[in-house]
Amino acid sequence: METVFSRADRALRACRSAGAATALALLAACSTTASRDSVYQHERFESTETHLRSLDAPTVQVCEAARRALLSQGYLIVQALREQVIARKSFQPDPEVHMELQFNVACAPDGRTGRSSLAFATAVQDRYTLKKAANSASLGVGALGSLSVPLTASDESMVKVGSETISSSAFYERFFVLVERFLSDADPEAVEAPAPSAPTTGQ
């Protein structure tokens, strides 16, 4: 026969197990939250040339070469200014997945003479997926009231599910090599500043 002490001992062990499980759950939740909130800790702000290149040309010529380099790769120019170029390109690797790259190039003088420039390039990759929502209709069924009946038709829309800044050094290296090629082929006397264009409305 089970004694009172046995029942009490079993109840105490159960409470201890529940407490340990609760503590582990809280620890996992805190770890997940910390991992989400600690992205900034990877920002070391160290000296790097991934997004930066020094070029032997004035800023206007550098940004014009960047504009032509992006155009040659099928990018749509959204904005072209004397010291900034913004371009976009769309991809669809899967019928239900849409990818978009937005390329941002900023040009700034390197030194006081203005004979060389710094080009800063950053590309952001956005990912969209197809979301389907089934339609339904309400039908009157006499005393039963209204009845919701799903239809075969559905509304489809692209929903943004992710955005990431590209950090591949090889990706930017290929871009800067192409910019340098356009700079070497350009006539310094013939290159003019691109006419300012108003930014278009994004998706």
pTM to 2 decimal places: 0.65
For 148-199, the pLDDT digits (tens) are 555 555 667 889 999 999 999 999 999 999 999 999 987 666 555 455 555 5
Q: Would you state the pLDDT for residue 41?
A: 80
**CATH value of 47-128+160-185 in 3.40.50.1980, 3.30.310.80, 3.40.50.261, 3.30.9.30:** 3.30.310.80
Q: Would you state the pLDDT for residue 182?
A: 97
Q: Is pLDDT at 1 greater than 60 in this prediction? A: no
Domain ranges of the chain: 47-128+160-185
- Of 87, 48, 91, nearest to 66 by C-alpha is 87
Confidence of residue 203 (pLDDT cuts 50, 70, 90): very low
Q: Would you state the pLDDT for residue 86?
A: 98
Confidence of residue 126 (pLDDT cuts 50, 70, 90): very high
Q: Would you state the pLDDT for residue 34?
A: 47
